[in-house]
Amino acid sequence: MKESDDISQAKMVLLAIYRVSQMVGNRIPFEDLVVQAWKDYPDQFSLRNHPEHPDSYRVYNRIYTTLITERWLVSLRKQVYRLTDKGIEIARELESRSSVKEEKIKINNLTRDEEEFFNHAIKSRALATWKQNKKVDLIDYDARLFFQFSTGTPIRERKRKLENAQDAIQKALALELPEAVNLNDLFQFFIKKFPSLFEES
């Protein structure tokens, strides 16, 4: 589901202003906020027969029918605006909800096994050690914990877990999930340093 399915056009414009103001309520020329609204919500703010161009009237209409009357926005002079404290507060909440929803949608693109690995891996001691630039402290025990197998786990099962981890990390990279790059670097380090963990003895 797209963000634009859930919020009104007025709130889309509010969010666009919030983003273009660098989230601190700077003064914004009308042209800048029109372009931002169009980039963020092209299905809502494009000209009907020319989607390559923004529809400034729709943005203007939302500003004067809702944003200013609700005191989310003030007009400083001709075609220059600034968010009020109330507008910033509402926009910040909308942005936060949007980010959380986006993260959930991204996570849902992983299979259950991949999601379980990802959630385990980002909390692992191995990743914490890696991020502290202490890779010399990582041993085969850390690798086994990272991939979730023991010394008694058959090679076939170890390889399955390795493939699941690789698939999860590659999807996480494509989805730009938090820690995906660090996880990939750690993954590559482990398989190069401890290849015997995945080979028949």
Residue 78: CB partners within 8 Å, gap ≥ 6?
none
**CA distances in angstroms from 105 to 86, 100, 108, listed in the order given:** 29, 9, 5
Please check whether residues 95 and 122 belong to one and the same domain.
no
Quick one: pLDDT band at residue 23, thresholds 50, 70, 90?
Answer: low
**Are 85 and 117 within one domain?**
no
Predicted model pTM: 0.48
Q: Does residue 19 sit in the same domain as residue 69?
A: yes
188 found inside a domain = yes
**Among residues 75, 101, 127, which one ends one of the domains?**
101
Q: pLDDT tens, 117-156?
A: 998 999 898 999 999 999 999 999 999 999 999 988 999 9
Does residue 95 lie within any of the structural domains?
A: yes
CA trace torsion 125, 127, 128, 131 (10° rounding): 160
Residue 106 included in any domain: no
8 and 37 within one domain:
yes
C-alpha distance from residue 109 to each of 43, 97, 106, 115, 139 (Å): 24, 19, 5, 9, 32
CA 29 to chain centre: 28
97 and 140 assigned to the same domain:
no
Rounded-to-integer distance, Cα 119 and Cα 146, Å = 11
Range of the domain at 139: 112-198
Whether 107 maps to a domain, the answer reads: no
Q: How many domains does the chain have?
A: 2
